[in-house]
Chains A and B, each alone.
Chain A
Amino acid sequence: MLFTRRFFVLSIALLLAITASVPVNAQQTLNDVKKDRGLTDNDVLAAAKTFMPRGGRDEYFGFVGTGNSGTMIVYGLPSMRIYKYVGVFSPEPWQGYGYDDESSLLLKKASLDDKISWYGDMRYPGLSETNGNYDGKHLFYSDGANSRIAMIDLEDFETKQVLSHPLFLSAFPGVAVTPNTDWVIQTSQFPATWNAQSDELKSGITFWNFHKVEATSKTGHMGRILKEKSITLELPSFTMGYSDAGKFISDGYMTGLASKDGKSYVYLVNYNKVVGMKTKTVNNFQVVPFEDAIKGNAVAMIELPAKATYVKITPKGKYFITVSDETTVFDFAKAIKALTDKTFSGKVDGVPTIDAATVKHGSIKLGNGVMDIAFEYRPNIAYASAFNDKKIVRFNYETLKKEGDISLTFKPSQLMVPQSMSATPHSNYLTAVDKEGLYDNLITVGPIRPSFQHLIDISGDKMTDLYTMSLPQANMYGSVAVLRTTIKPIIRYPTGTNSRTGEISPYKTVAGKEKIEREGNRVHVFGTLIRSHITPEIVEVNQGDIVTFHLTNLELAEDETHGFTIDTYGKHGSFEPGKTASLTFTANREGAFPYYCTEFCSALHLEMEGILLVKPKNFKGEKGGEITLTKEQLNEYKKNYEDKLKVISQTQDVINSVVTWLKENHYENHPYVKALVEDAVAQLNKAATPKANYEKFAKEGKWKDAFLWAEQYYQYQVKAADAGLRAKKLLKEKL
């Protein structure tokens, strides 16, 4: 009903929008704005296609290869707003990535030198697949800088695994994922040595074994790459480029680009065969020797007439297309047959070659400086970017005919259509990267500019350029996008979760169980975080102690993240609801060091503080002491205490009325409301201790203590009311 009424109003309004003026308020109409800002009708149409109404959801999640930033970018299509940066190969302090113990160790163990590598180069992400379709569970990146591979869990958008490659010194910064995510394929890029004391340059293709777990645990998708089961195919020294994994008729095969001595090749590998071959162990890693792969007829190369930038396999697995000005479409069935039948034309560096002419479906001249292609929903349709022509060309790879183009104001390079690399590409949107980013009217902010990509509307016959998106802190190359609803993220962890393993941390601490344990110079602080205090608030250690704060965020409410740092000690952790993480440092400097919550969490966020005292050996300074209250001051506290009790009682009445209302309206039937009510109840339950305390101190006539505990009781009431009122508001909307 609401929708119809709303829609009725707006459809009338919008009917008028293009031709006449919409009276929005007394002062301003759409025409005024158009005139004022110099917008055309087409601009307004583009704005309407991309602007996200408040609280709306984007259709797709886009994931960007960000080059040397080592950090992933998640954005939404079509609003092109960036939602998140996630530390992958580079440390990132907002998330505590590389700054807390758990993630520091994750990164250190991902280095053959046991160091935190300070950057990575990630250009082509790969999404996990089930039956050739994106399943929205995992995302993989290859590090072309420090030769690593990473897996991100799309349930909590955190990096779960970073593994170093034991053989490659130079990896291609992209991955290919097989149709059921059995293998994540990473190749070398530039030839390098596999052994520090040898000069022999080698190349290779690594099939990282991925252990899938169908069931999703409470803490995340449990799948992991298993280094022990992964296999590298050894190759002679080629410079290796982009690769892709086949599907359907080409399932079990992969293709990739290679070059040597000025000649370009596309290679074909029967990886089902390779992974079944006998291996030798090199650097504690399983390797299929080159000779065995050749003997086993598992690999061949096709020489290309010109250098290609990409090779991509069509959605149904029928063709693989090498991208260059004259783009060649290869028939997979023919290529497989040639490999199987050993119809070879010769050899390059010991690798058998197949004559391109015998396995080609055809070729098509697409333009000048053709960079990349992307597939879409329409059968046999793909898009090609012609960098020098400033054009995107729509073409049919079956009939090898052009079907239209769009002239652009920039030189397009990498292209992406949502779901494009899966078995079921979608239509309507195409993104094109603009590497140069030369815009006369775009405000520059110094020599270093962001990356840019354009959103192109491909829904109709005519393509239109809708939006210019800037991506800071990214040297953008490839990207992938998946339908929003395919990904099902969580909003909190079960209390005590080590988010990197997805399991309950041995350092999980619950309310009331906080403690400080010492053994020699080793101090473990088991603490908790909750709006708006850290327990413990005072920690005293000896100079030189090795101190670890193991903290658990006890919050259940969505978006109630706390951060934690100790001033000038260089450590930082981010504690999302339920997370446990640890910070270790050597307290090598004496003095008083404030620690605090770094994420604005509540009205009393600034009061969420504590003090670390580091005591030197043989301390001989003044002891100090407590100040005794005068009678007058004591009486003042007594009065304050009595006033506070009145406020507490009034507040309780309001809370009770909210609780009654919530119960009457069956809040428990609405999970989100229920979560808020549980949060409110949890806050109130915490108030029991302060109450016992203030009653006790009042009895003893210790009015200052009584007053302060009453104040703390009241703070819990306020927090309970805060959450309770959110619950009521939300339930009202739902009813």
Chain B
Amino acid sequence: MSIMKKFKKYISLVLVAALFGFYLTLSSCGGGAEKAKSAEIGVPRGNETFQDVAKRRGLTSEDVLAAAKTYTPDNLKDEYVALNSGGQEGNMPTYLVPSMRLVKYAPINTRQPYVGYGYSVETYNLMKDGFIDGQEILWGDTHHPGYSETDGDYDGKWLVVNDKANPGIAVLDLKDFAVKQQVKNPLFRSDHGGAFFTPNSKYILEATQYPAPYDHKYHPLNDINFQKYWRGGLTCWAFDNDKGRISMQKSFNFELPPYTQDLSDAGKLATYGWGFTNSFCTEMYIGGDMQGRPPFEAGCSSRDVDYLHVYNWKKAAELIKAGKIKTKVIRGMRNIPISESIKHHLLYLIPEPKSPHGVDVDPTGDYIVVAGKLDSHAWVYSWAKIQKAIKEKNFEGYDTYGIPIIALETALHGSVEVGLGPLHNQFDPKKGIIYTSVYVDSWTTKWDYINLKVLDHISSNYNIGHLVSTHGDTRHPQGKYLIELDKLSIDRFNPVGPLHPQNHQLIDISGDKMKIIYDMPIPMGEPHYTVMINNNLLDPIDVYPVGTNIVTLKKASYATNAGDEHVKTKGNLVEVFGTINNGKVTPADLTIKQGQEVLIHLTNLSQEKIGHYVYEIASYDKMYRWRPGETASLEFLADKAGKFPLLLDCVHSPQGRQLQGYLTVKYNAKADNDRVIAFSKRIQKDNEMQKFQPSAIELKNLLPGELEFLNYGCTACHKFGKDFNGPDLLMIDKRRSDDWLKSWITNPKSHYKEADIEAMRQKYKLAMPDQNVSDEDVVKIIQYLKAKSEKVMKEQMQ
């Protein structure tokens, strides 16, 4: 307890001291380019020498060196590929190091039209695997990616990433950088600490973030229920590293207390078989700033330490296999109750610095380093010491759930003051060298975790979150480059409005002193964690064999050969088997009855690297991109009648879209009625939101009530001066009284039996729907009916 007390005392003091001692390095230097101003902007500069350029652009010799270290002309190769979680953008921004050029936004949880993810039947069905309880989810909050490993080193086969908002894991194949599997965690409502591979990719670790009841049921929120029903967890997803697939059946979950779990790491070598997961809010505090309680941020940071979870996944797996542990399958996931983990010595807690983020096992597996954002120290734990404490049952006590707590002093190798807000760690090939990102102080600290001393600091612009070094979380870090993932960029780049890009700063770590050599804006999304892999481990493909379904990588049963193209109609379904052959789609024209379901399977016969084609149906919102050799399907309901251009765009040709033919959808009265009814339902759904509000200028140009007429979807059926899906509204105010109109609009059903209404229902085959128009809005709509009639009449008179 003595160390604990000591920490307790100085943590708060140090926090204050550190906060005021270390100023944020808000430097606004640079901007050299602005200083050199020619007489007139945009005038040809003429032939410039190197000196002219340096003078004009205000380059220092450091700048030139940095430029030379990063500039990568076409005859050179970049060295590393960095895959970033895109955060709330749901894709994975991918860039090359050291040129820092973005080459891909690999879609994970968000539809992406450029690659067609979520637009073909095949890729949409893959996204569907990510829907939860039937809820359509078309975005994700990708957080922590991990590369698959063999013997604790990247093997270049797979990448997995979690989704914090919709907990689960996606598997990306590094052969084509496309998602192959989506699994959702059936227990969690939120995750964060994942995805982390174990050293031979047997399991992927995924920890909860915010706890929630495993039964997914409602329980009144209070301390007793929170401690009884709310749970954290650590899921070990079983992974087949050859096939690249997760098996839910072989996976299992450690039930954990409702602490807010955070990042994890899998042990290696000495720590092989063990996993480590951070947590914060071990206070199990429930905020409620409108219920008179202080917010979560106060209650969740009120203890002086939080808990590092140490668990033996290897032994757990063995016990499950041997049937020697009591588990229960909940919604398909095998769960190990806390009591069983305790009983079988699978789970321990160790105090750790307050509000931690990164827990990182060093390349030897002997040390575990934790960065806690509310402590200015990074703490180094010794595995040898932890093992000894476990063996000797040297515990300082047990938590509320009976989990043994290993005393800090028996586990700690030492701690080093790295700055205020330590967040995450990465390693260097040199023994004992570690890099820690420091959030509040906006810098990276290079230090020695064995000899416990600080070696160097380098500033960041600004507020660095995670950092990544080359293979920095494996057994063999490669050094050379480190990237700071800055959370704020404030004044670093050309201003682009209130929403700023993130700033990724590339650091040269080859020398003793770290040097920033590139500031890269991340233009979309907010990467949380990045993993960087040496290019020589990757061997991606350029084309698929003809007829490939890119999700399964197997030949699609509906792949079509040239000459075999045909159209099949079965009941209400029109199924097209076609090809894309050298810029031509067969069949070129399609004729369909309104209301039919259409399923178009196309096979791209190209085997050229640049044989990518986008096939689209104009104004039907239907499109997909066929990669060379791909077979994919478009599915839609032909709900609109008309003649719609069918277009093909060869992506890698400058020619632009070429007309293939037309989709002719023949008008059908019943189908058109169905379309109108569906339209009306969408309007009703819209009106659950706020009313659509155009800007004041647009509003000024509308007739009174026109906006309400639009918002309630009246335009779907009615026009002025013309019959449409419903009767012509011209002069309606002369044919009906205001009171009748009011009653009709607000309560149409009460009028259905009136003879003339009945006649109109026969004629238009549609009944006026009840759009829940408010009393206030009905007055406006009637006002519009009058004003519009008057306007149209005036036009007709002219």
- Partner among A224, A606, A627 whose Cβ is within 8 Å of the Cβ of B698: A224
Task: Give the residues in chain B near A101, CB-CB below 8 Å.
Answer: 689-690
> Does A22 touch B at the CB level, under 8 Å?
yes
Task: Give the residues in chain A near B798, CB-CB below 8 Å.
Answer: 278
On whether the beta carbons of A145 and B60 are closer than 8 Å, the reply is: no
On whether the beta carbons of A377 and B42 are closer than 8 Å, the reply is: yes
Interface string of B644-658 (1 = CB under 8 A from A): 110101011110110
CA–CA, A95 and B497, complex, Å: 12
Given the contacts A192-B645, A469-B101, A22 and B222 also touching, CB distance less than 8 Å = no
Minimal beta-carbon separation of A541 from chain B (angstroms): 10
On whether the beta carbons of A722 and B535 are closer than 8 Å, the reply is: no
CA–CA, A104 and B690, complex, Å: 11
Interface string of A522-534 (1 = CB under 8 A from B): 0000000000110
- Partner among A48, A601, A722 whose Cβ is within 8 Å of the Cβ of B50: A48
> Does B616 touch A at the CB level, under 8 Å?
yes
Task: Give the residues in chain B near A43, CB-CB below 8 Å.
Answer: 68, 71, 73
Chain A: residues with Cβ within 8 Å of the partner, total of 260
> Does A663 touch B at the CB level, under 8 Å?
no
On whether the beta carbons of A537 and B296 are closer than 8 Å, the reply is: yes
Q: Which of A420-454 contact B (CB under 8 A)?
A: 424-428, 433, 435-439, 441-450
CA–CA, A296 and B75, complex, Å: 59
> Does A632 touch B at the CB level, under 8 Å?
no
Task: Give the residues in chain B near A105, CB-CB below 8 Å.
Answer: 686, 689-690, 692-693
Closest chain A residue to B791, Cβ basis: A281
On whether the beta carbons of A537 and B289 are closer than 8 Å, the reply is: yes
Minimal beta-carbon separation of A285 from chain B (angstroms): 12
On whether the beta carbons of A170 and B281 are closer than 8 Å, the reply is: no
Minimal beta-carbon separation of A160 from chain B (angstroms): 7
CA–CA, A24 and B164, complex, Å: 44
> Does B105 touch A at the CB level, under 8 Å?
yes
Given the contacts A94-B524, A118-B113, A9 and B289 also touching, CB distance less than 8 Å = no
Task: Give the residues in chain A near B610, CB-CB below 8 Å.
Answer: 436-438
On whether the beta carbons of B628 and A447 are closer than 8 Å, the reply is: yes
> Does A365 touch B at the CB level, under 8 Å?
no
> Does B325 touch A at the CB level, under 8 Å?
no
Given the contacts A105-B690, A118-B113, A726 and B296 also touching, CB distance less than 8 Å = no
Given the contacts A565-B165, A711-B299, A448 and B54 also touching, CB distance less than 8 Å = no
On whether the beta carbons of B697 and A224 are closer than 8 Å, the reply is: yes
Task: Give the residues in chain B near A490, CB-CB below 8 Å.
Answer: 497-498
On whether the beta carbons of B225 and A76 are closer than 8 Å, the reply is: no
Interface string of B777-798 (1 = CB under 8 A from A): 0000000000000001001001
> Does A204 touch B at the CB level, under 8 Å?
no
On whether the beta carbons of A81 and B520 are closer than 8 Å, the reply is: yes
On whether the beta carbons of B45 and A51 are closer than 8 Å, the reply is: no
- Partner among B104, B113, B795 whose Cβ is within 8 Å of the Cβ of A448: B104
Minimal beta-carbon separation of A79 from chain B (angstroms): 9
What's the interface size class on B, roughly? 35 or more
Closest chain A residue to B132, Cβ basis: A568
Task: Give the residues in chain B near A608, CB-CB below 8 Å.
Answer: 296-297
Most buried by A among B15, B112, B165, B496: B165
On whether the beta carbons of B89 and A94 are closer than 8 Å, the reply is: yes
On whether the beta carbons of A603 and B439 are closer than 8 Å, the reply is: yes
> Does B609 touch A at the CB level, under 8 Å?
yes
Given the contacts A54-B30, A146-B621, A582-B690, A721 and B54 also touching, CB distance less than 8 Å = no
Interface string of B103-116 (1 = CB under 8 A from A): 11110001111110
On whether the beta carbons of A725 and B24 are closer than 8 Å, the reply is: yes
Most buried by A among B48, B74, B640: B74
CA–CA, A237 and B534, complex, Å: 55
Given the contacts A590-B217, A625-B224, A574 and B88 also touching, CB distance less than 8 Å = yes
Q: Which of B201-247 contact A (CB under 8 A)?
A: 209-210, 212-213, 216-228, 230
> Does B341 touch A at the CB level, under 8 Å?
no
Minimal beta-carbon separation of B672 from chain A (angstroms): 8
> Does B307 touch A at the CB level, under 8 Å?
no
On whether the beta carbons of B103 and A11 are closer than 8 Å, the reply is: no
> Does A607 touch B at the CB level, under 8 Å?
yes
CA–CA, A424 and B43, complex, Å: 10
| Stretch in A179-187, A268-276, A347-355, A614-622 with 4+ CB within 8 Å of B | A614-622
Task: Give the residues in chain A near B792, CB-CB below 8 Å.
Answer: 281
On whether the beta carbons of A475 and B60 are closer than 8 Å, the reply is: no
On whether the beta carbons of B94 and A472 are closer than 8 Å, the reply is: yes
Closest chain B residue to A211, Cβ basis: B697
> Does A692 touch B at the CB level, under 8 Å?
no
> Does A584 touch B at the CB level, under 8 Å?
yes
CA–CA, A457 and B176, complex, Å: 35
Most buried by A among B24, B28, B54: B54
Minimal beta-carbon separation of A692 from chain B (angstroms): 12
Given the contacts A37-B69, A558-B490, A55 and B688 also touching, CB distance less than 8 Å = no
CA–CA, A447 and B619, complex, Å: 28
- Partner among A168, A428, A576 whose Cβ is within 8 Å of the Cβ of B44: A428
> Does A53 touch B at the CB level, under 8 Å?
yes
Task: Give the residues in chain B near A359, CB-CB below 8 Å.
Answer: none
- Partner among A55, A95, A443 whose Cβ is within 8 Å of the Cβ of B27: A55
Closest chain A residue to B655, Cβ basis: A309
Interface string of B732-770 (1 = CB under 8 A from A): 000000000000000000000000000000000000000
| Stretch in B32-40, B408-416, B559-567 with 4+ CB within 8 Å of A | B32-40
- Partner among A52, A229, A535, A598 whose Cβ is within 8 Å of the Cβ of B165: A598
CA–CA, A625 and B286, complex, Å: 13
Task: Give the residues in chain B near A604, CB-CB below 8 Å.
Answer: 297, 300-301, 355, 373-374
Task: Give the residues in chain A near B105, CB-CB below 8 Å.
Answer: 472-473
On whether the beta carbons of B31 and A56 are closer than 8 Å, the reply is: yes
Minimal beta-carbon separation of A727 from chain B (angstroms): 9
Minimal beta-carbon separation of A536 from chain B (angstroms): 4
Q: Which of B670-705 contact A (CB under 8 A)?
A: 675, 679, 682-683, 686, 688-690, 692-698, 701-702
Minimal beta-carbon separation of B685 from chain A (angstroms): 9
On whether the beta carbons of B713 and A729 are closer than 8 Å, the reply is: no
> Does B96 touch A at the CB level, under 8 Å?
yes
On whether the beta carbons of A446 and B175 are closer than 8 Å, the reply is: yes
On whether the beta carbons of B34 and A57 are closer than 8 Å, the reply is: yes
Given the contacts A108-B686, A443-B77, A606 and B135 also touching, CB distance less than 8 Å = no
On whether the beta carbons of A461 and B47 are closer than 8 Å, the reply is: yes
On whether the beta carbons of B294 and A239 are closer than 8 Å, the reply is: no
CA–CA, A597 and B106, complex, Å: 24
Given the contacts A443-B78, A448-B177, A568-B165, A622 and B374 also touching, CB distance less than 8 Å = no
Closest chain A residue to B137, Cβ basis: A570
> Does A507 touch B at the CB level, under 8 Å?
yes
On whether the beta carbons of B102 and A470 are closer than 8 Å, the reply is: yes
> Does A631 touch B at the CB level, under 8 Å?
no
Given the contacts A7-B58, A39-B73, A533-B289, A109 and B710 also touching, CB distance less than 8 Å = yes
Task: Give the residues in chain B near A661, CB-CB below 8 Å.
Answer: none
Task: Give the residues in chain B near A441, CB-CB below 8 Å.
Answer: 74-77
> Does A380 touch B at the CB level, under 8 Å?
no
Task: Give the residues in chain B near A609, CB-CB below 8 Å.
Answer: 210, 287, 296
Task: Give the residues in chain A near B405, CB-CB below 8 Å.
Answer: none
Given the contacts A228-B702, A443-B78, A474-B114, A647 and B218 also touching, CB distance less than 8 Å = no
On whether the beta carbons of A83 and B496 are closer than 8 Å, the reply is: yes
On whether the beta carbons of B521 and A83 are closer than 8 Å, the reply is: yes
Q: Which of B474-510 contact A (CB under 8 A)?
A: 487-501, 510
Most buried by A among B34, B227, B286, B692: B692
Q: Which of A9-55 contact B (CB under 8 A)?
A: 9-11, 13-15, 17-18, 22, 24-25, 27-28, 30, 33-34, 37-39, 41, 43-55
12 further A-B pairs in the complex, CB-CB below 8 A; given A606-B280, A607-B296, A607-B300: A47-B64, A57-B493, A120-B113, A169-B645, A445-B540, A446-B177, A448-B115, A460-B47, A470-B103, A475-B114, A624-B220, A708-B293
What are the nearest 5 A-B pairs in CB distance? A426-B42, A55-B30, A624-B225, A51-B67, A47-B71
Between-chain CB contacts (< 8 Å), 5 pairs: A44-B71, A119-B119, A427-B42, A448-B115, A589-B135
